[in-house]
C-alpha cells in the first residue's frame, strides 16, 4: 500500500503544484483576453487537481478503516486482545486532523480564488492576497500531511504483518494448517 499511496500522493501534489504555478503566472491586466485565458486554465486545473488531492486523503482514510475492521475481526476470532486494534486506532487518528485541515484549506483556497476573480459578482478587500496566502499554506500543508499519511500507512503495514505473524503462529500451534486427510485416488 505504501507504493500505491506514494504514487497517488505524488500525482495529487503535482496537480496542486501545477495549479499554483498556473495561478502564479497570471498577469495583472484582468481585462486582457490572454489573462482571462490564463485564469480559465488556472480555474479548470484547480477543478481537476483538488478532487484528486482530496481523493488521496480519502484513500488513506479508507485504508485505515478497512485494515482496522480486519484487525478487529481477526483479533476477536483468534483472541489476540485489544492491543493491535488500539495501535491501529492511534495510527488512524494521527492522520485524521491533518487530513481534515487539508480538505478545509483546499475548499477555502478555491472559495477565495472565486472571490478574487475580477469577473465575479462578489467582491472582497484583499481577496487576492488571501487566496495567494491560502494557496501557499494549502500546498505546504498537503505536502506535509501526505508525507505523514505515508509514514502512518507504513507503520500500519508493519502492524498488519505482526497480526498475520501471530495468526500463523496460533494456527501452527493448533494444527489448523495441516492438510486434511487426502482422499484415495481411483485408478
User: Tell me: the pLDDT tens digits for 134-151?
Assistant: 999 999 999 999 999 999
Reading the block at residue 75, the C-alpha cell is 483479533
pLDDT band at 123 (very low <50, low <70, confident <90, very high): confident
Q: What is the pLDDT of residue 31?
A: 75
User: Is residue 81 domain-resident?
Assistant: yes
186 assigned to some structural domain: no
Q: Is residue 183 part of a domain?
A: no
Residue that has been written with the C-alpha cell 492576497 in this structure? 129
CA–CA dist 149, 96 (Å, integer): 9
Percentage of the chain modeled with pLDDT above 90: 79
Please give the tally of structural domains in the chain.
1
Answer yes or no: is pLDDT of 117 > 80. Answer: yes
For 52-65, how does the pLDDT look when each residue is reduced to its tens digit (9 = 90+)?
A: 999 999 999 999 99
Cβ atoms of 145 and 95 within 8 Å: the answer is: yes
Q: Residue 121: what pLDDT?
A: 78
Q: Is residue 178 part of a domain?
A: no
Report yes or no on 187 lying in a domain: no
The helix-helix angle for 83-116 and 33-77 (nearest 10°) equals 170
Residue 187 confidence (pLDDT) above 70 = no
Residue 179, domain member (yes or no): no
- Looking at the domain assignment, is residue 22 inside a domain? yes
Residue 120 counted as domain residue: yes
Task: Indicate the burial class of 172 (C-beta count within 10 angstroms; 0-12, 13-18, 19 or more).
Answer: exposed
Read off the pLDDT of residues 12-43 as tens digits, 9 standing for 90 and up.
Answer: 999 999 999 999 999 877 778 998 899 999 99
Domain of 121, in residue numbers = 2-172
- Asked whether the predicted pLDDT for residue 90 surpasses 90, the reply is yes
Residue with cell 498577469: 27
Residue 49 · residue 12 · CB < 8 Å = yes
Q: 180 pLDDT exceeds 70?
A: no
Burial label, 53 (beta-carbon count in 10 A; 0-12, 13-18, 19+):
buried
Q: Where are the alpha helices (DSSP H) in the chain?
A: 2-24, 33-77, 83-116, 127-173
Amino acid at each position: 500500500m505504501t507504493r500505491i499511496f506514494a504514487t497517488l500522493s505524488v500525482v495529487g501534489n503535482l496537480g496542486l503544484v501545477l495549479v499554483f504555478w498556473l495561478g502564479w503566472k497570471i498577469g495583472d491586466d484582468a481585462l486582457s483576453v490572454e489573462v482571462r485565458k490564463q485564469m480559465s486554465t488556472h480555474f479548470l486545473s484547480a477543478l481537476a487537481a483538488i478532487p484528486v488531492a482530496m481523493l488521496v486523503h480519502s484513500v488513506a482514510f479508507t485504508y485505515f478503516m478497512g485494515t482496522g475492521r480486519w484487525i478487529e475481526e481477526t483479533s476477536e476470532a483468534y483472541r489476540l486482545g485489544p492491543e493491535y486494534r488500539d495501535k491501529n486506532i492511534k495510527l488512524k487518528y494521527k492522520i485524521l486532523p491533518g487530513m481534515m485541515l487539508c480538505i478545509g484549506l483546499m475548499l477555502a483556497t478555491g472559495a477565495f480564488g472565486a472571490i478574487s476573480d475580477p469577473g465575479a459578482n462578489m467582491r472582497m478587500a484583499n481577496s487576492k492576497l488571501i487566496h495567494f496566502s491560502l494557496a501557499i499554506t494549502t500546498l505546504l500543508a498537503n505536502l506535509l500531511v501526505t508525507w505523514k499519511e505515508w509514514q502512518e500507512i507504513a507503520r500500519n503495514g508493519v502492524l498488519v504483518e505482526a497480526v498475520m505473524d501471530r495468526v500463523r503462529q496460533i494456527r501452527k500451534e493448533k494444527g489448523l494448517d495441516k492438510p486434511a486427510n487426502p482422499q484415495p485416488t481411483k485408478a
